[in-house]
Amino acid sequence: MSECIFCMIANGDIPAKVVLDEGDILAFDDIAPQGPIHTLIIPKHHYSDMGDAVPAEMMATIFSAVPRIAAMKGIAESGYRVIVNNGRDAAQTVGHLHVHVIGGNPMAHGMVHFVDVD
Ligand code: AMP
């Protein structure tokens, strides 16, 4: 997917602050961090979201990297939130599967804020 920004990052066509480059996955810092630590983990292969026939092994590879990323970022003990925005209603803005790892400060309880719907 030549027009996909995360494919471009995976291919090295645009820069990113890479945290982990390991086999089929890449982790890099979010360009607009929503906390002191905000890292994204992506598969290098393009999958639009979790429903895009992602092999179970790939899911396992991505999610098993989460605690290691947290340790590398120094938030393993303090805690962190792991988020996948999947599809339109979840406000996914980049159509390449990615997992957010966010931490570094205490967060408010709860995680879902629906927009007003009448
Ligand atoms: P989502 O809303 O779950 O699709 O999240 C997409 C995330 O990608 C947002 O947090 C953006 O700030 C982040 N993002 C977009 N472009 C880049 C980029 N070039 N490098 C790093 N993060 C990016």
pLDDT digits (tens, 9 = 90+) for 48-90: 999 999 999 999 999 999 999 999 999 999 999 999 999 999 9
Residue 110 domain-assigned (yes or no): no
91 lines ligand 1 (CB under 6 A): yes
* pLDDT for the residue 7: 98
* pLDDT for the residue 2: 66
Residue 32 Cα to ligand 1 midpoint, Å, equals 7
* Structural domain boundaries enclosing 38: 5-103
* 113 among known catalytic residues: no
pTM: 0.96
| Pair 24, 43: CB distance under 8 Å | yes
Q: Which of 38, 96, 98, 100 is catalytic?
A: 98
Neighbours of 30 (CB within 10 A): 17
Q: Is the pLDDT of residue 118 over 80?
A: no
Which ligand 1 atom is nearest residue 85's CA?
A: 3
* pLDDT for the residue 29: 98
Residue 86 domain-assigned (yes or no): yes
CATH code of the domain containing 34: 3.30.428.10
Residue 111 domain-assigned (yes or no): no
Domain count, the chain: 1
Residue 112 domain-assigned (yes or no): no
Nearest CA to ligand 1 atom 18: 31
Mutate which of 18, 40, 89 to test ligand 1's pocket (most atoms within 8 Å of Cβ)?
A: 40
| Pair 4, 73: CB distance under 8 Å | no
